[in-house]
Structure 1
């Protein structure tokens, strides 16, 4: 199984496979994970806010996604990634987040080798010039 170095890059890959392609199953839902936790009334936003976890990745979500193994054959099928503040995976990780900070910024593209057939990255303007150069050097369209 693949080992990711950049957690936020992994989340973008998860977005594609789990929430867009629906090939990585089951779909993670923070509300399902929090069921049965003391003080959880069914709303992840309230739960996070009441615990001072606004604008942070919920520890339960981080643990889940860090441990999530993604088979190589699914990674090989990734041809496009989208970096957008409205990604479902971000809402599942940080229910109290508005997309206005760097919480989910990708710091490294060292994990590109894990998605060998990647051809296009949407929302690449959030990467910065150095990481954009990495994409273009590999022939990946940066839109």
Structure 2
């Protein structure tokens, strides 16, 4: 079982597999979880009511942290997109504007889990050292 070291890197992989490729199922939607728990049907209001503006909703973080991703799915990841408007970010933090480091990738140690990764779009959100790591591995850093 793949163990991610950087939770925010895992979120990028989840975005690709769950919301773009739709191969990691079922798709997670925070509002569905809130309904199941009897906590309402509006993720934005929930976050606002519980002081979770600009923070990750713990239930979403817990869900994604526990999510198992099979090695065969990981092997199918050829590109990742880094962008403040990703669906996975909206599911984690319904009130977030992209103006802080909440979803910044701190480490690229998890690249080893993606043997076929060829391109990272939005790499300007990485440090120059992280971009150098991508290039050294033959990954296009757009």
| Bin of the TM-score, shorter chain as denominator length | over 0.9
| 1:69–1:36 CA distance, 2 compared to 1 (3 A) | closer
| Structure-1 residue corresponding to 2:29 | 29
Corresponding residue for residue 94 of structure 1: 93
Q: 4+ runs of 1 displaced by more than 3 Å? A: none
1:128 Cα deviation after fit: 1.0
Q: Tell me if structure 1 keeps the 8 A contact 2:131–2:141.
A: yes
CA offset at residue 36 of structure 1? Answer: 4.1
SS of 1:35 mapped into structure 2: helix
TM-score w.r.t. structure 2 length?
0.98
Aligned to 1:56: 55
Gaps of 5+ in 2: none
How many residues are treated as equivalent by the alignment? 142
Partner of 1:118: 117
Specify whether residues 16 and 95 from structure 1 end up closer, same or farther in structure 2 by C-alpha distance, changes over 3 A only. same
* Cα deviation, residue 105, structure 1: 0.3
The two structures, once aligned, show a CA RMSD in angstroms of 0.8
- 1:84-139 Cα offsets, whole Å, 9 max, x none, are 00100000000010111110000000000000100000000000111011001101
The TM-score normalised by the length of structure 1 is 0.97
